[in-house]
Every structure is written in structure tokens, then in C-alpha cells.
Chains A and B, each alone.
Chain A
Amino acid sequence: MKGKKLVSLSMAAVMCAGGLAVYGGQEVKADDKVSVVVATNWGEGDSKYDYFYPVFQKFQEENADTMDITLQTYSTEDYKTKIKTQTASGDLPDVFTYWGGGIMKDMVDAGLLLNVDDYFADSESVAKEDFDDGAFDYYIAGDGNAYGIPIESTRGVLLANKTLFEQYNLEYPTTYDELLEVGKVFNENGIIPMAIGSNGGTPSEFFYSELYNQYEGGADEIAALASGGNFNTDNAVKVADTLLDMIDNKLFPEDTMANGGWSASLQLYTDGKAAMTYTYPWMYESIPDDIQECSDIIPIPQMPGATIDPATIETGFTVYGFMINKASYEDPEKHDAILKVCDMLASDELTESLTESGMIPCKKVEVNKDSQKLIMQKTLDYAADKTLVQVHYTTMPSAEAITMMDSSLDELFINALTGQEFVDKVQAVLDKEK
């Protein structure tokens, strides 16, 4: 009798499994439709999702009778893992947002990505000239060709809380000595001078580059990093030592790990616990209106021994864009559909829509300043007359070197490394790759 129970249990399991296979495997596929996979890291929780998804949905509906578009969205961390496994198993999406520089290098070497000139040659609505000068730099590989179409650009800003400065009768510092002076006053009153932490290299990494650009030849050295792989320069050590000096003078929060990362660094500033912070426009959604009101964007004080006037430069670079799967694009069946998808992704319509999320576009589109947040308007005004400079992040030739720079900066910030040790650690990775 009970033997039957076992049989029936196993039967139930098999049926369950079978049912699931059907349920899980169901796929509506019409033969005349081209299936296209689009992947992005603008997940549901990302500020861009709300501006991207309606445009995408409209496109999907318009082309419903010819295309079967699957949109894969993940949060950034998950997205990188997903793309890496898909690359390894040969299932790369047809069109996907991705990072350039050292991060895309392996894909370019393997010939997986389309040279975007091929796309521009085919496209009727988008041309390479529609984009800002230098926007493609981030996506140019060793062979001189660009392999990605840039979407988002950005600007580094040092925000200063006007109210706090006025409260203590202080002027915005322009030199390092003035900065130390200001820092002293704020510290005496229990206010953190600059809310800059370092957890996973944010936001310290960009701040490091920002300081680097103040030194003679700094900008050229950063640009040359991509091809030469030489990080160990006098300037690199000088900047690291300056950072250590800033830490000794208590210009940053004491707990740089817990107060590192984009959110935590900014939070001290928005709560009025810090007088200044270094941040980027993608954080603007988190700045309350009253703080936007009393925030000024100021040049970073000139570091000791620096020769370039910080009031004339600002970091500005392409953050990311999208890439085209070469094999899919060259597949005659898919070609037209993919071309259409790319035209949508690079369209003025989508770009304009994304600017409303606080994104600075790489494409030359009219940004409606009045619809922007106050702090964004201030940013655009400030950036108008600045020479844009690069950061190490975009020119570092390998992903591993970026990781090493980030994690070693964390160490530098907790005073566990000397400036030279920090530089050596990054250089060791670069030398290994050569």
C-alpha cells in the first residue's frame, strides 16, 4: 500500500517539474518578427528608468508588428555580472549600455563590438557630428576606432554651503592655506570641512584626478595613461601626499569608509554637518531644495605647488553609452531592426528626456535650463567657461588597475599607505599587464 505512496509522490514531482518546464519555457514567437535583446543598467530603482522606459515603451509598441524586443534591466552591480556571463557563454545582447576604457578592452580585442562608424554610415537620423567633441574618447580603443555611442557626460563639482560660510564669517578658500584656515574654524565648531570619504574609491577617485589636473603636465599625463600605462609620476605622488596632508589636517570626515560612497558622502553635506562636498550631477536628485538654494559651486582651492588655475578647469567626461553587438548587426535578418533600436537610443527625443533626470548629455541637444533643478542650472552656468579635463577612471587601460586604484585610495584615506606606496600598488598592476 505505502509503496504506492512513493510512486505517486515521485509522479507528482515529475508532473510538477514538467508543468514548470512548460510554464517557464513558454515563448510567444511569431516567425516574421525579429527578436532583439536590449540590455541596460537603468533598473527600476535608477533615476533614469522613469525617463527611459516611456520612450522605450512607445518605440516597442510602434514596432510591435515587426520586432520582438526584450528589455533586460538590472542594477549596475548585477548588470556587470550578467554581461560577463553572457559574454562567456556567447549570449551577448544585441544592443547594451556599457562602460568604455579599460572595462571594454577585452570585448574589443575579441571582436565582439561594432565599430560605431559602421553604424553612423548606415543611420539616417544620427551622425557622429551630433555629439560633443571628445565625447567618443572614452570609447576609443587602442586601434583608434570608437566602439560605443556615448550617452551621458558629467561634471565634477565642489559644493559649498553659503549659509555655513556666512555663519562663521568665512570666505570661500582659493588656496591651500586658506582651505586649512577655513578647515580649522569649521572643525572648532564641530562641522566637517569637506564631506569626502572613500569607499570603493568613491568619490575620492575623481577628487584625486581633479587635484591631479592642477599640476603642470597633469592633464597630458592622464591622457597618456591609456597608451603608456605609466601611473608612477611625480605628480601622482605629490597629489597622494597632499591628500594625506588634508587628512592629517582633518579636512575630511574621520570615518572615511562609513562616510564613503556617493550617498553617504553627500548626506553629511545635505544634513548641514559638512560645509563642502565633492559630488556629481547624478546625485542631484538627493539634494533637498533648501540645500540647492544655499549651495554655491566653487573652484577647488589651488594645491601647494600647483600651477594651473583651478578656476579655469573642471573634470568633464563621458560616463557611459551603449554598444552594438557586431555579430548581430552584421546578421542580415537583424540588421535593420538593430539599426532602428540604435536610432531610438541615440535619438534627440530620448536624450532630451534623459536630461530631465539630471543627466548631462553627450549629444548636442538643447537642454531646457528652466526645467532643470536649481543646482543643475548652477552647474551648467559654472561649467560654461571651463576647460574640461579627464579623470584617471576613463583613461586607465585595464579594469584591474581601476579596481586597484579604488581600493588603494580607500587605504590611503585611512592612513594605511604612504603616497608612494599607493602609487606603486597601482603601477604594479599596470606593469603586470604590459
Chain B
Amino acid sequence: MNKYKKVPVCIGFLLPVFLIYTIFLFVPLVQSAYYSLTSWNGVTEKVFVGLDNFKALFSNSDYWITFWNTIKLVVISLCIQIPVGLLLAYLLYSKVKGMKIFRTIFFLPVVIAPVAISLMFSLFYNSEIGIFNKVLEAIGLGRFATNWLSNIHTLLYAVMVPQVWQYIGLYVTIFLGALQSMPEELSESAQIDGANRTQTFFHVVLPEIANFTNICVILCVTGSLKAFEHSWIMTGGGPGVRSAYLGVYMYKTAFVNSDFGTGSAITVTIVLLSLVITVLFNTISAWREKR
């Protein structure tokens, strides 16, 4: 095809999405980045302060606590959501009766407002009225019973659980879509060749859906880096900032304490962190593909 003939088509097809994206997402992002260089309480004039917000942030221990909380969330989400999502999707794909019903049910938690989920879990954990400790005692694990949200060793993880659990259905949906769009002959021919199911899964299915695994990993990482609602509703990020992620810390700084300069600086660090992880991950997976 003639190279020059492509240009108008490219422009015509790309322009709408490019314009909307740039005006309503990229420009606000740039504005936010600009705020991060100012001292601004959202009311009076912005005062340009250069990198002062970042300096103050990096010397603030609360920032580093939330930073590491966020990294922990990323790692835990990756280790749980992706494998479990893939496993469930694969089970559903392997000709399960009532697959449609299962798929809908697995997706249901994703639909429910985090407020409701968080409230439910708070009641769940409550050592006076909740049933979590009672269940533990019933199955003989009573010695692990604790005040989940008031124990400095467990509270962060207790806050993570509802979030990690709630969004597994999302990955089931994506993986199932991927498996279903995979040519069926592929796994069948592998099985005729005598490969057992585990082998088929690792040598045929997994490479075929590698694209989608990448998508899910990126979704999982970026989703965790922006995490906000569950922590905010259950504990307000507290006590102190012990269960806060960067997203919560950003909201608290900007909208509760009216420090929009520092708040925007936190945003910038979130975006940079996402970008670094994404680029790193893409490079690794591209390199692996080449080999």
C-alpha cells in the first residue's frame, strides 16, 4: 500500500481519541504537575516554590510509610489477584456446566460499591460483634484471633483483604475473554499430541494469552498504586497513616488539609512510579519474547 495514502486514514482515526484524551486528561495532569511546584491552599494565590514540596515530602516519614504500604499492596495484589483470576478463568474455560452463571457470580463483587464491602468487612473483623474470630475458633485456629483493625501488625493487611478480594472477578473476566478468543484447535491439538492438562496450560495456553497477562499485570499494578476507597472508608488511612496508601495520603493532604501543592506532588510521584514500573515491565516482557 502506498505510504502516503495511509496518512489521512491514520489522522482521521486517531484524531478524536487523541483530542479528547489530551484536553480532558493530559492537560489536567500537566496542571496538576504545575500545582506540585507551588504552595497552594486552594483558596489564595498560588506561590511558586520550585521543588520545595518534593523535598519536604521525601523527608517526611509519613510519606515513606504510605509509600511502602503501597508497594506491599502492589506485590500482594500481583501475587493473589493474577494467579487466582487466571486459575478461576481456566477452570471456567474447561467446559464447566453453568459456566455463564459462575462467571456472573464471580464478577458480582466488582459491581458492589466499596463502601458496602468495607462496612461489611469492618463488622466482620470487629472482635466484639464480628464473626471472623468466631470462625477461626470454630475451625481450631482460635489462637490467631486478634483485634484485626487495632493490632499494628495486622491492620494494614486486614484493610488490604477486601480490596484484593473484591477485584479478582475483574481478572477472571479478562482472562476468560482471552481464553475464549484463543483458537480452540490449539489446545485440542496439544492434547491429541498427548500433553496432559498441566502441560497444555503452561506450554500452549499461557504463551497464547501472554498479551492479556501483561494487561492484567499493568492493571493490577496501576490499580494498586491508585488505591483509595477501602482504606479511606474502613480506617481513614489510620491509625496515623498505618493503613494509608499513596492515594489516601494524597487525598488527605490535598482535600482534608487543603495543601494542594503537596497533594499534587504526591500525585506526580504516583504517576512516575507507575510509569517506571510499566516501562520496566514492558521492557522485560519484550526482552523475554525476543528470546
Chain A in direct contact with chain B (Cβ < 8 angstroms)? yes
Which residues on A are within 8 Å of B, measured CB to CB? 80-81, 84, 87-88, 106-107, 109-110, 112, 192, 198-200, 253-259, 264, 267-268, 273, 399-400, 403, 406-408, 410-411, 413-414, 416-417, 425
Chain A residues with CB under 8 Å of B122's CB are: 258, 264
| A88 engages B239 (CB within 8 Å) | no
> Taking the complex as formed, is B173 at the interface, i.e. its CB lies under 8 A from any CB of chain A?
no
| A87 engages B237 (CB within 8 Å) | no
Residue of A nearest to B260 (CB): A88
Chain A residues with CB under 8 Å of B127's CB are: 253-255, 258
Q: Quick one: CB contact mask for B133-154 with A, threshold 8 Å, 1 for yes? A: 0000000000000011111100
| A255 engages B149 (CB within 8 Å) | yes
Q: Quick one: CB contact mask for B98-132 with A, threshold 8 Å, 1 for yes? A: 00000000000000000000000011011111100
Q: Looking at the assembled complex, report how far the CB atom of B132 sits from the nearest CB atom of chain A, in whole angstroms.
A: 10
| A257 engages B255 (CB within 8 Å) | no
Chain B residues with CB under 8 Å of A268's CB are: 128-129
| A257 engages B258 (CB within 8 Å) | no
> Taking the complex as formed, is B44 at the interface, i.e. its CB lies under 8 A from any CB of chain A?
yes
| B128 engages A106 (CB within 8 Å) | no
- The distance in angstroms between the C-alpha atoms of A87 and B151, with both chains bound, is 39
Q: Looking at the assembled complex, report how far the CB atom of B91 sits from the nearest CB atom of chain A, in whole angstroms.
A: 35
- The distance in angstroms between the C-alpha atoms of A256 and B255, with both chains bound, is 26
- The distance in angstroms between the C-alpha atoms of A84 and B253, with both chains bound, is 13
Q: Looking at the assembled complex, report how far the CB atom of A193 sits from the nearest CB atom of chain B, in whole angstroms.
A: 13
> Taking the complex as formed, is B176 at the interface, i.e. its CB lies under 8 A from any CB of chain A?
no
Contact of A257 among B129, B149, B241, B259 (CB under 8 A): B149
| B235 engages A106 (CB within 8 Å) | no
| A88 engages B150 (CB within 8 Å) | no
Contact of B152 among A256, A406, A408, A416 (CB under 8 A): A416
Which residues on B are within 8 Å of A, measured CB to CB? 41-44, 122-123, 125-130, 147-152, 155, 235-242, 252, 255-260
Chain A residues with CB under 8 Å of B128's CB are: 192, 253-255, 258-259, 268, 273
Binding site of B, secondary structure by majority: helix, strand, loop or mixed? loop
Residue of B nearest to A256 (CB): B150
Q: Looking at the assembled complex, report how far the CB atom of A63 sits from the nearest CB atom of chain B, in whole angstroms.
A: 31
Q: Looking at the assembled complex, report how far the CB atom of A207 sits from the nearest CB atom of chain B, in whole angstroms.
A: 16
Contact of A413 among B126, B239, B242 (CB under 8 A): B239
Q: Looking at the assembled complex, report how far the CB atom of B47 sits from the nearest CB atom of chain A, in whole angstroms.
A: 13
Binding site of A, secondary structure by majority: helix, strand, loop or mixed? helix
A-B residue pairs in contact (CB < 8 Å), sample of 5: A84-B42, A254-B127, A254-B147, A254-B150, A407-B239
- The distance in angstroms between the C-alpha atoms of A255 and B123, with both chains bound, is 11
- The distance in angstroms between the C-alpha atoms of A121 and B276, with both chains bound, is 60
Residue of B nearest to A398 (CB): B257
Chain A residues with CB under 8 Å of B240's CB are: 407-408, 410-411, 416-417, 425
Chain B residues with CB under 8 Å of A400's CB are: 257-259
Contact of A84 among B130, B155, B258 (CB under 8 A): B258
Residue of B nearest to A274 (CB): B128
Residue of B nearest to A425 (CB): B240
- The distance in angstroms between the C-alpha atoms of A413 and B130, with both chains bound, is 20
Chain B residues with CB under 8 Å of A407's CB are: 236-241
Contact of B126 among A106, A259, A406 (CB under 8 A): A259
Q: Looking at the assembled complex, report how far the CB atom of A429 sits from the nearest CB atom of chain B, in whole angstroms.
A: 9
Chain A residues with CB under 8 Å of B256's CB are: 80, 399, 403
Q: Looking at the assembled complex, report how far the CB atom of B208 sits from the nearest CB atom of chain A, in whole angstroms.
A: 30
- The distance in angstroms between the C-alpha atoms of A273 and B41, with both chains bound, is 44
